[in-house]
Amino acid sequence: MIDNGLLVQMLIGALLGVSVYLPLAAGQLSLATPAFYAVGGTLAALLSTTWPALGAGADGSFPLASFLLELLLGGLLAGALALLVGRLVLRLQGIYLAIATIALVEIVRVAILNLPFTGGAIGIFGIPQPFPTAAGYLLPALGLLALAGWVCQRLEVMPLGRAMAAIRNDELAARCMGIDTTRVKLTAFVLSAVLAGSTGALAAHFLNTWNARQGSFDTAVTMLAFVILGGSRSWLGPVLGGLLLTALPELLRPVGDVRLVLFGLVILLGPSVFPQGLITPGLLERLGRLGERAEREPQT
């Protein structure tokens, strides 16, 4: 039921979930991820279809090195944009930041729709493929997710990650403890954008076509649902949420049109049954203890 194509989509969902999670870990509700995703995707689509130096073949093939370079460039461009925009929007707090970032998503969407070189409503199609089948994308998507997870995991024992947690708990107290909160929030915002940009570059090749609809307000809400269902206290939450919620509409396909109702029910009931999300610190602790016991048992 789950084929390789869906698996890649699920991994992309997980990556975008982590991208929404990063600013949230510093207490900032930003919905800008689709904008950066769109920027990365558009860059990759444009470069691979118009820049011959990258080596796109006439048969639609594409060198792996150029693909990886695009992941990097997509992340860098999105990160640079986040650096510029972040200085302005991160002055806002709470729901106002969310609104400003939704505006950013709309600006990027309308820009991509109307710019002379991004293909208008049809978008850019025939994006060359670095891999012959969908299975080829599994490895880079997993690699990107592993990288993101590793960064998130390291953050927990680093001053930067602790500062983010402190801001999430009490921003004023954090400032009074010597934390440059503007800088920490901006860093989290840029990290989130880099991840979304790279993910966009990967998705553009995987989907084969790219247009302005890829990053819209709807996607922002879906990505937020990843984090809300999965849990926002650990990076594993949005990963699980992204995997599940991307797979669900496809898995429910046999039940016909009722699937959209069921999907809506999951989003509605998930947070009421698991208010903290599926993955909570308490759950991780219990799992940790189970792991320790399993390690000890063979010796006794």
> Using CB under 8 A, which of 94, 110, 139, 170 touches other proteins?
170
Taking CB under 8 A as the criterion, the residue among 159, 249, 264, 275 binding other proteins is 159
Task: Please state the length of the chain.
Answer: 300
Q: If we measure between CA atoms, which residue out of 195, 206, 208, 213 comes closest to residue 16?
A: 195
Please, what's the b/e burial string for 217-244 (b: 16 or more CB within 10 A of its CB; e: otherwise)?
Answer: eebbebbbbbbbbbbbbbbbbbbbbbbb
Q: How far apart are the first and last CA of the chain?
A: 42
In the complex, least distance from residue 12 CB atom to other proteins, rounded to whole angstroms: 24
Binding segment (CB under 8 A) for other proteins, from list 163-171, 204-212, 216-224, 272-280: 163-171
Interface size with other proteins, residues (CB under 8 A): 23
User: Minimum Å distance from CB 158 to other proteins?
Assistant: 4
Tokens of 146: 């592993």
Between 66 and 234, name the residue whose CB sits nearer to other proteins: 234
Nearer to other proteins, 53 or 172 (CB): 172
Q: How many CB atoms lie within 10 A of CB 263?
A: 16
Q: Which of 132, 178 has the CB closer to other proteins?
A: 178
Q: Which is nearer to other proteins, 151 or 247 (CB)?
A: 151
- 169 touching other proteins, by CB under 8 A: yes
Give the residues across from 124 on adjacent strands: 210
Residue 162 binds other proteins (CB under 8 A): yes
Q: Kindly tell me which residue out of 72, 146, 180, 221 binds other proteins, with binding defined by CB under 8 A.
A: 180
d(CA 131, CA 205): 9
- Amino acid identity of residue 70, one-letter, is E
What is the Cα 84 distance to its own chain's centre? 20
Contact pattern for other proteins over residues 104 through 143, marking x by CB under 8 A: ----------------------------------------
CA distance 2 to 8: 10
Which of these segments, 38-46, 62-70, 176-184, 192-200, binds other proteins (CB under 8 A)? 176-184
- Out of 112, 179, 207, 220, point to the residue binding other proteins (CB under 8 A): 179
Quick check: 241 and 225 in contact, CB under 8 A?
A: yes
The one segment of 29-37, 103-111, 175-183, 192-200 that binds other proteins by CB under 8 A: 175-183
**Cβ–Cβ < 8 Å for 48, 205:** yes
Shortest approach of other proteins to residue 188 CB, angstroms?
A: 12
**Cα separation of 146 and 165, whole Å?**
22
Instruction: Please identify, using beta-carbon distances, which residue of 187 and 214 lies nearer to other proteins.
Output: 187
Say if CB 124 and CB 214 are below 8 A apart. Answer: no
Contacts with other proteins by CB under 8 A lie at: 151, 154, 157-160, 162-163, 165-166, 168-170, 172-181
